[in-house]
Amino acid sequence: MSVRTDSEIITKARHGCAPGGSIEPVDWADDHELDVSVIVPVQSSDAEVRDVVEALGSELQRQGRKWEVVFVFDGVAGEAWDEVLELRAAYGRRVRSISFKNPFGESVCLSAALERARGRYIVTSPQYVQVDPVELRSMLSALDGGADFVTPWRHPRVDPWLNRLQSAAFNLVIRSIIRMHFHDLNCYFRAIRREVLDDVAVYGEMYRFLPVIAYRQGYRVVEVRVRHLKEWGRTGFFGLGIYTRRFLDILAVMFLTKFTLKPLRFFGTIGGAFGLAGAVICLWLTGQKLFLGEPLSGKPLLLLGVMLIVLGVQVLGFGLVGEIIIFSQARNLKEYRVERVYETPPKARHGGDD
């Protein structure tokens, strides 16, 4: 999904404000390619944008990496926006910002920022310093070592026990459904190789499940234990609505990562099960009628059987339409990504002959 770029939706910030502080200038700030882009979706006006830039920026500076921070204001303005304008004046192109007029959610923020980010590695961060910035070293060196996606595990955590309990339960459920050993999907302080994000489509509320999607698509996902500094956001019981949404999200992730190209396998299994159950019931009742002489009337079970058969057939019908959609799109679906082609250049190949 991409963001509409008309001026209605995205209002690019103008330069202004006085330069602040004593930030040493660097010669790479305008480079086309950097090492790390930190992407920060901003969702409330009290975001601690200055802390994020200073904490992460100085850590990345210490590691000798060329960095930038891209803020995406998700339909918010106010104090944080003014602060970002000051930061931009002070840091130049190392701090950039995008602003949406209306809120679109983290996934859209991420893809809008990706279109503009210059880094080879992408670090996504919440709008405050949630995790000790020093952890960036181990996370980025994991990427250097060949990992595609580094997901953090906040341990030990500093938020109230009720939050921790719910979070642990959520992660336990995910672990048992997806059969992967991640402890903490709810922390958005992640380090990702850029190509992964180009390949893994992010949309809807899938932001949370990025590591799962990446893992299911065959990327190397690594978990790194990090020191938790503080936690924002809701405390107490999260509510049934949130739990329902999470559950549906998991279902969608499972479907999309496994059955995108073979919808009939998914719908066929479900529909087949329903149809089979219905057929067994109907055959049983028919047998009773034919051989035992028991009347069919007064047996609601007959209705259940017929309903199940109808349901099964309808689910199969959905699978068929799914297959047709995939088949007709086959030309546009490139199932693979080539990382690199190794070959002898044509000149060298025929150098001696002609």
Please report how close the Cβ of residue 76 comes to other proteins at its closest, in angstroms: 36
3-state secondary structure of 2: coil
- Which of 183/193 has CB closer to other proteins? 193
Nearest to other proteins of 11, 269 (CB atom)? 269
Q: Is the CB of 27 or the CB of 335 nearer to other proteins?
A: 335
> Are the CB atoms for 135 and 49 separated by under 8 Å?
no
3-state secondary structure of 182: coil
Token couple for 241: 């609505």
Does residue 93 contact residue 13 with C-beta atoms inside 8 Å? no
Kindly state the tokens that stand for 216: 């299911």
CB of 302 to other proteins, least distance (A): 6
The answer to whether the beta carbons of residues 3 and 72 sit under 8 Å apart is no
Question: What is the Cα–Cα distance from 210 to 188, expressed in whole angstroms?
Answer: 10
Rounded CA separation 70/96 (Å): 5
Question: Least separation, in Å, of the C-beta of 307 and other proteins?
Answer: 7
Task: Give 98 or 214: the residue with its C-beta nearer to other proteins.
Answer: 214
Min dist. Cβ of residue 309 to other proteins (A): 9
What's the Cα-to-Cα distance from 127 to each of 30, 87, 194, 230, rounded to whole Å?
A: 24, 15, 21, 12
Which of 223, 67, 234 has the alpha carbon at shortest distance from 155?
A: 223
**Would you state the structure tokens that stand for residue 184, as one six-digit string?**
């903490």
Cβ nearer to other proteins, comparing 35 with 148:
148
DSSP 3-state assignment of 187? coil
Q: Please, what is the minimum distance in Å from the beta carbon of residue 242 to other proteins? A: 32
In the complex, the smallest distance separating the C-beta of residue 20 from other proteins, rounded to whole angstroms, is: 43
- C-beta of 190: minimal distance to other proteins in Å? 18
Binding site for other proteins (CB under 8 A): 148, 195, 199, 217-219, 261-262, 264-265, 268, 295-299, 302-303, 306-307, 310, 313-314, 317-318, 320-321, 323-333, 335-344, 348-350, 354
Pick the closer one to other proteins by CB: 147 or 187: 147
Shorter beta-carbon distance to other proteins: residue 181 or 331: 331
Question: Beta-carbon neighbour count of residue 181 at 10 Å?
Answer: 7
β-pairing verdict for 119-124 and 95-100:
unpaired
For other proteins, the closer CB: 27 or 339: 339
Please report how close the Cβ of residue 33 comes to other proteins at its closest, in angstroms: 19
Taken as a whole, the chain contains a residue count of 354
> Across the beta sheet with 190-193, what order do the strands follow?
95-100, 67-74, 34-42, 119-124, 190-193, 149-154, 221-226
